[in-house]
Amino acid sequence: MKNRPVPVLIVAAIFIIAGCTGIIYHAGDFFDPHYQLPELIWVMLLRIAAIVCGVLLILGINWARWLAIAWLLYHIVISTFHSASEVITHTIFLIIVTVLLYLPVSNIYFKAKK
């Protein structure tokens, strides 16, 4: 398959945008004396992982689908410490992303890259 399927492009774009937005949002935290550096480094690594995941999805790397799902599962776990609405939102997002990444057209795309 030469063209990338639209569902894969949508998910990849969302991950890249989420990662870039998160890095920009948290960049100012480096100057906050009350912010703990190990926590900030972990947040930045997660944002970088989202960007890497999006790029790998575009390249058709099969395990990037699992990375995307793991990234969202981690956010569901983190959300349990906040509010029920965050858990529900992340769970719905996980379901949508999983369906989009495992549609037949997406499966063909990822299998063609092997």
With respect to residue 26, please indicate whether it lies within any of the assigned structural domains. Answer: yes
With respect to residue 94, please indicate whether it lies within any of the assigned structural domains. Answer: yes
DSSP, residue by residue, 1-61: --SPPHHHHHHHHHHHHHHHHHHHHHHGGGG-TTS-HHHHHHHHHHHHHHHHHHHHHHHT-
Q: How confident is the model over 93-105, as a mean pLDDT?
A: 95
Residues in CB range of 64: below 8 A, 6 or more apart? 53, 56, 57
pLDDT digit string, tens, across residues 44-59? 999 999 999 999 999 9
With respect to residue 52, please indicate whether it lies within any of the assigned structural domains. Answer: yes
Residue found under tokens 């774009």: 13
User: Residue 32 has which token pair?
Assistant: 């906050």
The answer to whether the pTM exceeds 0.85 is yes
With respect to residue 107, please indicate whether it lies within any of the assigned structural domains. Answer: yes
pLDDT digit string, tens, across residues 11-64? 999 999 999 999 999 888 788 788 888 888 898 999 999 999 999 999 999 999
17 and 110 Cβ atoms separated by less than 8 Å: no
The number of domains in the chain is 1
Residue found under tokens 């947040």: 43
pLDDT of residue 26: 87
pLDDT of residue 107: 92
User: Residue 108 has which token pair?
Assistant: 């063909």
With respect to residue 1, please indicate whether it lies within any of the assigned structural domains. Answer: no
**Range of the structural domain that residue 68 is part of:** 6-112
pLDDT level of residue 113 (50, 70, 90 thresholds): low
With respect to residue 99, please indicate whether it lies within any of the assigned structural domains. Answer: yes
